[in-house]
Amino acid sequence: MAEEEGSEKESNDLNEQDPTLIHYIKGLSRLQQAPGKDGYAYTALDLTNKSLERIDLIKQYCYIQILNLSQNKIEDFSPLSELKYLVSVNIAENAIETIPTLCNVHLKAIDLTRNQITSLKDFQSDTVANLIVTENSLQSIDGIEQLPQLTTLIASINQISVLWSRDMDQLPDLPLEHLELNANALKSLHGIERFKHLKCLHLRDNQIQDVQDVSMLRPLKFLKVLDLTGNPVSEAEAYRQNIIILLSDLSILDTIPIEKEEVLTAAILKQEREAAEVNSVTNDAE
């Protein structure tokens, strides 16, 4: 009986508190040993769809490592800089227009899908490796040079017409391995050759016109996966063979694994073309 009364009192006390604070308390999980201390602390917080406009209270939960703030009305997430143990944060479907500099030394992943971001130029982080900015209003990926640890960038469904709008010499050698730019407005891949470590490139539903445009990918010796589905170039005659000839290290093209028979067919086609060119030069000389 005493336990029931105590539980009821605790519930009543919780209901009398600030509704926002209640969201925080109810969203806590993953009780673990606190870093550098003998006690325990919650390390995950889920505040999905709580109509939040501000997150000032977040500072009180300094041990949070995994944070979900999706489906709210947040415009400013700079208070996250107070969370020195933060590793991953989901801020999808909010009202973010600019990305502040984040100094969280353990932050690796951030999801900003479906916000109102027009540029990455103000975003700086020495630790972020995975960035998702799908369904925003980006026109280029300028700014990623300020993310020296970036290995995965997903920026599909934006308005990106050029990869890089400034002097290419200003773009450092980044460790980018996975790049998704589906459903944008890319006509040229100028600048892509600077991503020397790229292994996976998704360019579905853009405006890449011909194989000559794809030739910008030739310096990318680690590229194994390429998706050009929905681009005009994918409708060209002998498209698949031409891409295999051009990018001999590819393993998957347009989600379909490249078979040994295709590689052989492409090699024969290449030899025939080279022989035809030699004959043409010989005939011209005569």
Q: Looking at residue 269, what is its pLDDT?
A: 86
Q: pTM value?
A: 0.89
Local confidence band at 4 (pLDDT 50, 70, 90 cut-offs): very low
Rounded to 10 deg, the angle between the 260-285 and 239-246 helix axes is 80
Domain segments of the chain: what residues? 146-163+174-286
First vs last C-alpha separation in the chain = 109
Residues 234-286 pLDDT 10s = 999 999 999 999 999 999 999 999 999 999 998 888 888 877 666 665 555 55
CB 58 within 8 A of CB 82: yes
Q: Looking at residue 7, what is its pLDDT?
A: 44
Contacts of 56 (CB under 8 A, 6+ apart): 79
Percent of the chain with pLDDT over 90: 76
Residues 16-70 pLDDT 10s = 567 889 999 999 999 999 887 778 999 999 999 999 999 999 999 999 999 999 9
SS3 (DSSP) at 247: coil
Average of per-residue pLDDT across 127-149: 96
Give the Å distances, CA to CA, from 28 to 10, 63, 99, 238, 262: 17, 11, 25, 56, 53
SS3 (DSSP) at 245: helix
**For the stretch 183-193, what's the b/e string if a residue is b when 16 or more beta carbons lie within 10 angstroms of its beta carbon?**
bbebeebebbe
Average of per-residue pLDDT across 98-111: 94
Question: What is the DSSP secondary structure assignment for residue 69, as one 8-state letter?
Answer: -
Which homologous superfamily is 146-163+174-286 in?
A: Ribonuclease Inhibitor (3.80.10.10)
pLDDT at position 163 over 80: yes
Give the Å distances, CA to CA, from 184 to 129, 139, 159, 202, 252: 22, 9, 5, 11, 21
Q: Residue 63: name the closest of 108, 33, 26, 93 by CA.
A: 33
